[in-house]
Chain A
Amino acid sequence: MTMFEAILLTVITASTPLLLAAIGELVVERSGVLNLGVEGMMVMGAVMGFAGAQWTGNPYAGIVCAVLAGMFMALIFAFVTQTLVANQVASGLALTLLGLGLSGMLGEAFVGQPGIKLPALDIPGISDIPFIGPVFFGQDLLVYLSFALVVAVTWFLFVSRTGLKLRAIGDNHVSAHALGIPVVRYRYLAILFGGACSGLAGAYLSLAYTPQWVENMTAGRGWIALALVVFGSWRPWRVVVGAYLFGAVWISQLHLQALGSGIPSQFLSSLPYIATIVVLVLISSNRRLSLINTPAALGKPFVPER
Chain B
Amino acid sequence: MRLELKKRPEHSKAMAIASPLIAIALTVAFGAILFAVLGYDPLKALYSYFIEPLTEAWSLEELASKATPLVLIAVGLSVAFLSNTWNIGAEGQYTMGAIFGSIIPVYFWQWDGWMVLPAMMIMGMIGGALYGAIPAFLKTRFGTNEILTSLMLVYVAGFFLDWLVRGPWRDPGGYNFPETRDFSEAAILPPMFGNGAMHWGAVFALVAVVVVAFLLGGTLKGFEVKVLGQAERAGAFAGFSRKKMVYFGFLLSGAFSGLAGIATVSGTVQQLQPSISPGYGFTAIIVAFLGRLNPVGILIAGLMLALTYLGGESAQVTMGISDKVVRVFQGMLLFFVLACDTLILYRISLVSGRSSAGKDDAPRENLVPAEEAV
Contact = CB atoms under 8 A, between A and B. Distances in A.
Interface of A: 34, 76, 80, 83-91, 93-95, 97-102, 104-105, 108, 174, 177-185, 215, 223, 226-227, 230-231, 233, 264, 266-267, 269-270, 273-274, 276-277, 280-281, 284-285, 290, 292, 294, 299-306
Nearest to A102: B328
A280 B328 contact: no
B327 A101 contact: yes
The 6 closest A-B pairs by CB, nearest first: A101-B327, A98-B331, A104-B324, A90-B289, A94-B334, A86-B338
A12 to B, nearest CB: 22
Contact of A174 (B5, B167, B334, B365): B365
B286 A84 contact: no
Contacts of A180: 358-359
Contacts of B361: 306
Contacts of A267: 159, 163
A90 B334 contact: yes
Contacts of A306: 360-361, 363
Given A87-B338, A306-B361, A97 B148 contact: no
B342 A85 contact: yes
Contacts of A85: 5, 342, 345-346, 372
Given A89-B374, A284-B145, A101 B326 contact: yes
B106 interface: no
21 contacts: A85-B372, A86-B338, A91-B338, A93-B283, A94-B335, A98-B334, A101-B327, A102-B324, A174-B366, A178-B363, A180-B359, A185-B357, A215-B324, A227-B148, A264-B167, A270-B156, A274-B152, A277-B149, A294-B145, A305-B363, A305-B366
Interface residues of B, number: 64
B346 A285 contact: no
Interface of B: 3, 5, 7, 138, 141-145, 147-149, 151-153, 155-156, 159-160, 162-163, 166-167, 282-283, 285-286, 289-290, 322-332, 334-335, 338-339, 341-342, 345-346, 348, 355, 357-366, 368, 372-374
A181 B339 CA distance: 25
A285 B355 contact: no
B116 to A, nearest CB: 29
Contacts of A285: 141-144
